[in-house]
Amino acid sequence: MADDLVNVTIDGMTLAVPKGTTIIEAAKQAGVLVPHYCYHPSLPSPAVCRMCLVEVEKAPKLMPACATAVAEGQVVHVSSEIAKKAREGVLEFLLINHPLDCPICDQSGECELQDYVFQEGRAGTRYKEYAKRYNPVEDFGQDILYVPNRCILCTRCVRFMDDVAHTPILNVSERGDRAYIGISEEQRLDHPWAGNVVDLCPVGSLLSKDFLHKARAWDLDKTPSVCPGCTQGCNISIDTRDDVVVRIRPRPNLEVNRHFICDYGRLNYRWMNRGDRIEAPLIRENGRHVATDWDTALARLEQVLRGASGSAVILASGRASVESLGLVRRLVDGFTVTAAVQVPLGEEAPLAGIPNLALRRERAPNLAGAELLGYTRHWEAATREAMAAAVVMVLDADLAPADAAALAAAPGLVVVLGSVVPESLENAALVLPVTTMAEENGTYVNRDRRLQRYQQAKSQPGMARPAWWIAGEVLAGPGPSADAPSTAAEAFELLGERWPVFAGLTYADLGFTGRALVAGPAGVAAGEGAAR
């Protein structure tokens, strides 16, 4: 409502924002970035760094933009001479004690101190002595190192542990120019969400041991994606260097994970770089598997499905996309189908200060999507039924030795769509190489039934293709006139023909933060409202 809006002018641009909005957030809507260190939109604002000082007309002094709410008719100058002078002074004081570690610092290229000194700082320093030095590196525990002499005491890490993780083990020790971030000798920074302090740190003071010296920021390709670690569906960025995944970081989505991810999801990427990948289609001939081309493999798959009858079982990975699960399910429409999705279980780890955010017990990112497509969680029952099925399709599932042994003895035709070489499945009629979620475009549905896109972060190894492409080619039939999906977006649109939950939705509707699927008036799910 208009009564809830406040008119404010920021650097000459007039806009209306909700009451209670801080100047720093209002400035973002005006396209103006106010420099800041201690401020973070998901943390309390203590206004301690003084970097966000702005000039407000009729105010007796400069105001901290992170802690000052807008008022009706307020006129704010972010780039005035007096405001710039204040920020120069703040940066000069910070650089007195900050060493010139840029050539060896992991944060170089992503450092807010570098950025603001270049943008706002003085041309030179009035101090000739070297910066003070503290202990070079302290091990805070698990994956985190602390370099005290780089710390600018923004206290983001302290406030995250206090107010978001509700585990107050970090503090500001000492005072004045002797202050540093302290932790008790008896404690370790081993909280399951503690890795977020590395992302929150604006300089290179808090470092990840896992990423240490792996790459420079300008060497990385950054791809928006969705965490494959559990059913929460946190938004992430997959960072690759030379086609190798080297880091996973959180990507903001206020509806799902705000600005955070758990440490399990952060470090769960090494399987994306496995070297034992299937790189060519394999068909079974004369008791052994031989490599072939896709035309031959697809023709053999069509022949297998056309020549069999009775029941079919699909054993699918919980990391398979909505597109792959859906089109593979359509491949066996002529059978009596049992479809199950693999759901590894683990310990749940909530982030106390953020409602509905946790590392979930179900470690299957697309469990909800699979259930919408008719898959069940009854893995053991499906494995037993596979012993009598005419066709068994394994969609990139990590089979336990007992499951693999059971399938090896199954009398029916076994078709494997996998990313790594299956063990104990020498009897498989076909072994077809498929991509992982890091090598394809696709969608997941999280536990709150939010449909979200992920994008391809690295190239496909060898002849590997998405499972939806394989299924789509067979469904379309042979010949140049066949109408097979050529992109994940086209494959997704095909799902709406069979499952009303996806009808009418396109990739363009999902954007970068997804779209909620809710029950309609007749109990049928439908898309509602683009995410903020």
Inter-axis angle of helices 467-476 and 294-307, nearest 10: 70
Amino acid at the residue 273: N
313 part of a folded domain: yes
Residues 6+ apart with CB under 8 A from 38: 45, 46, 47, 48, 49, 51, 66, 154, 155, 156
503 part of a folded domain: yes
Beta bridge partners of 338: 313
Confidence (pLDDT) at 307: 87
CA distance 425 to 154: 56
CA distance 216 to 248: 14
32 part of a folded domain: yes
Token readout for 419 is 């990313």
137 part of a folded domain: no
CB half-sphere exposure, 193, CA atoms < 13 A: 27
CA distance 417 to 401: 18
261 part of a folded domain: no
E strands, 72-124, are 74-77
118 part of a folded domain: no
Confidence (pLDDT) at 12: 94
Cβ contact 418:396 at 8 Å: yes
Strands 442-445 and 288-291: unpaired
Amino acid at the residue 61: K
Pick from 52, 79, 106: which residue ends a domain?
79
Confidence (pLDDT) at 184: 85
Token readout for 395 is 């969609």
CATH of the domain at 298: 3.40.50.740
293 part of a folded domain: yes
- Cβ burial 326-364 (10 Å sphere, 16+ → b, else e): bbbbbbbeebebbbbbbbeeeeebbbebbeebbbbebbb
Confidence (pLDDT) at 411: 87
How many CB atoms within 10 Å of residue 134? 16
Token readout for 183 is 């932790």
The number of domains in the chain is 2
Token readout for 415 is 């078709």
Confidence (pLDDT) at 422: 77
Cβ contact 328:350 at 8 Å: no
297 part of a folded domain: yes
Question: Alpha carbon of 255 to those of 66, 395, 413, 516: distances in Å?
Answer: 22, 30, 44, 10
Pick from 45, 64, 79: which residue ends a domain?
79
Q: Can you spell out the DSSP letters for 132-154?
A: P---S-EEEETTEEE-GGG----
Q: What is the pLDDT along the chain (532 residues), one digit of tens a residue?
A: 566 899 999 999 999 999 999 999 999 999 999 999 999 999 999 999 999 999 999 999 999 999 999 999 999 999 999 999 999 999 998 988 888 889 999 999 999 999 999 999 887 778 777 666 666 899 999 899 999 989 999 999 999 999 999 999 999 999 888 899 999 888 999 999 999 999 999 999 999 999 999 999 999 999 999 999 999 999 999 999 999 999 999 999 999 999 999 999 999 999 999 999 999 999 999 888 999 999 999 999 999 999 888 999 999 999 999 999 999 999 999 899 999 999 999 999 999 999 999 999 999 999 999 999 999 999 999 999 999 999 999 999 998 888 888 888 888 899 999 999 877 788 899 999 999 999 999 999 999 999 999 999 999 999 999 999 999 999 998 766 568 999 999 999 999 999 999 999 999 999 999 999 965 433 344 443 333 2
Pick from 21, 47, 79: which residue ends a domain?
79
Cβ contact 25:40 at 8 Å: no
CB half-sphere exposure, 26, CA atoms < 13 A: 32
CATH of the domain at 19: 3.10.20.740
How big is the CA angle at 446 (ends 443 and 447), to the nearest 5 degrees?
A: 160
CA distance 487 to 464: 15
Inter-axis angle of helices 322-331 and 488-495, nearest 10: 60
Domain containing 331: what range? Answer: 282-530
